[in-house]
Amino acid sequence: MATMRNFPDPPKLGIGIVWWPGLDPLCRPAEGLVQVIETEPEVFWTQCPASNRGFASGLPAAVRHLPQPKLLHGVGAPFGGTAAQSTAHCQTLVADIEALRPAWISDHLSFDRFWPDASGNDAPAVFTGFFMPPAQSASGVAQAASHIRHRRAATGVPVAFENPVSYLPPAPGEMPDSDFIAAVAVAADCGILLDLHNVLCNARNGRQSVQEFCNAIPLDRVWEIHLAGGASQRGFWLDAHAGLVEPELMDILVDILPRLPSLGAITFEIIPDYVAGIGLPAIAKMLGELNDIWQTYIGAANRIAAPPSHNTPALPNAIQPALWEHALGAAVNGMPAPSLPPELASWIGQADASLALYTFLAQEGRASSLVMSVPRTVRALLRALGEADTRALLARFWSHTGPAYTTAEEGRKFLDFLSITAIPVAGLHAEMLADLSSLLRPVS
């Protein structure tokens, strides 16, 4: 699909990696493996009530030693939901952009907050604890496009969105995945971050095939590709960022590259917890293979033909975003369900395995946040109680307190919960105070 665009092609940056400190040895310029550094900015933010931005960012200092160009891939204000980006988030993001000068920024076409009253008027937004797929309807398109246009105007840099992974079965009346992606890209007049592993996950989990999806989106708008390894869980294939790029995904990449005239980067993602088990040499070897693929792509760039043009599909409007978000968010968080139209209520009942998976993933994500934010406290609990009883304690915490916006805030909430909960663990109070002190320490 070729469409009218009001922006130039991005620069050809090369092979990138979503950066974590443990991957630093691979990012040395002398290695020649990584030409662009991508970061998730919110991971480096802490709440700072004294700051007029609301957050203090440690991102510029964390990557200052890396000379490669930087890209910012947001994980805190996705484009797919009713809840808009906060002023504090926008101001902190703008400061990071001014410091790092990315050629473009990106975020997810998902939602992570919902309104308990489905209108956004009577109660604060509730966090889901995990990215959820948006309402794939005309209203969902308009909503996402509005958020993307606002982000571009507020930051002054080009913006792309990442196609979402969905563990849900197709919903009645929703647009096909590819039609939704195409409609948002055209309505927002923006770029696409094509996460090929997300496309593969969706295909393996019973949604649209890889070929059908890729044939129906505007490939001339793809600025970046994401690649990752997955894992099997509860009968689903997950976008777990848990390993190397598998051969099937590498074949998909090679097949689609000649059709991407505007591609600026191919970026590999892996969660830090998996790096040691896989090993830096294995990751380096894979990055070398990606560099070879990139060089072939660059060498053939002048022979790339424009994709065929066809009309934007009609947009059904059977699903209203606020109600969709309320229904999914309530199911995942164990809250009372809203009143739903019969067809949607029936579908929710049939999607129980998918929704249970999302609940599990949200809880695992919250547990990981605690390991990062209050490690001394978590270690003390594991030593004294063991894993089973510690997880039982976490379940009580999750039922008592909803997900927090930042990792640091999640840690503070857990410490507050423990302070009013009788836990017979010697030395726990001292470990909690040490973690609290770390959370309150200003970011340099």
Question: Confidence class of residue 90 from pLDDT cuts 50, 70 and 90?
Answer: very high
Residue entry with tokens 């072939």:
296
Question: Confidence class of residue 307 from pLDDT cuts 50, 70 and 90?
Answer: low
As to burial, measured by CB atoms within 10 angstroms (0-12 exposed, 13-18 middle, 19+ buried), residue 369 is: buried
Question: Confidence class of residue 60 from pLDDT cuts 50, 70 and 90?
Answer: very high
Which has the closest alpha carbon to 236: 325, 357, 410, 61?
Answer: 357
Question: Confidence class of residue 227 from pLDDT cuts 50, 70 and 90?
Answer: very high
Measure Cα distances from 304 to 52, 300, 301 in Å: 48, 7, 5
**End-to-end CA separation in angstroms for the chain:** 47
Residue 353 pLDDT exceeds 90 = yes
Instruction: Give the separation between CA 57 and CA 442, rounded to whole angstroms.
Output: 10
Measure Cα distances from 77 to 62, 95, 153, 302 in Å: 21, 16, 15, 37
Residue 354 has which token pair? 């998918």
One-letter amino acid at 380 equals A
As to burial, measured by CB atoms within 10 angstroms (0-12 exposed, 13-18 middle, 19+ buried), residue 212 is: middle
Instruction: Give the separation between CA 38 and CA 268, rounded to whole angstroms.
Output: 9
Residue 443 pLDDT exceeds 90 = no
Beta bridge partners of 56: 46
Segment 249-302, tens digit of pLDDT: 999 999 999 999 999 999 999 999 899 999 999 999 999 999 999 999 998 855
Numbers of helices and strands, H then E, in the chain: 15, 14
Residue 149 pLDDT exceeds 60 = yes
Residue 243 has which token pair? 């390993």
Residue 47 pLDDT exceeds 80 = no
Q: Classify 129 as helix, strand or coil.
A: strand
One-letter amino acid at 219 equals L
Task: Provide the strand spans (E) within 118-230.
Answer: 126-132, 159-162, 191-195, 222-228
Segment 405-423, tens digit of pLDDT: 788 889 999 999 999 998 8
Measure Cα distances from 171 to 57, 129, 204, 318 in Å: 39, 22, 17, 10
One-letter amino acid at 260 equals L
Which has the closest alpha carbon to 286: 253, 314, 326?
Answer: 253
Residue 99 pLDDT exceeds 60 = yes
pLDDT value of residue 404: 84
Residue 2 pLDDT exceeds 60 = no
Which has the closest alpha carbon to 154: 57, 83, 88, 109?
Answer: 88
Instruction: Give the separation between CA 432 and CA 378, rounded to whole angstroms.
Output: 9
- Residue 32's region, left for phi above 0, alpha for psi from -120 to 50, else beta, is left
CATH architecture of 14-303: Alpha-Beta Barrel (3.20)
| Mean pLDDT, range 150-154, rounded to an integer | 98
Residue 444 pLDDT exceeds 50 = no
Stated as kind and residue range, the H or E segment containing 379 is helix 375-400
| Mean pLDDT, range 386-409, rounded to an integer | 90
Instruction: Give the separation between CA 190 and CA 291, rounded to whole angstroms.
Output: 26
pLDDT value of residue 112: 95
- Number of CB atoms found within 10 A of residue 57's CB: 21
Asked if residues 124 and 402 have their Cβ atoms less than 8 Å apart, the reply is no
pLDDT value of residue 440: 74
Instruction: Give the separation between CA 63 and CA 86, rounded to whole angstroms.
Output: 25
- Number of CB atoms found within 10 A of residue 31's CB: 12
Instruction: Give the separation between CA 408 and CA 203, rounded to whole angstroms.
Output: 35
pLDDT value of residue 195: 98
In the chain, where are the structural domains located? 14-303, 344-440
Percent of the chain with pLDDT over 90: 79
| Mean pLDDT, range 24-51, rounded to an integer | 89
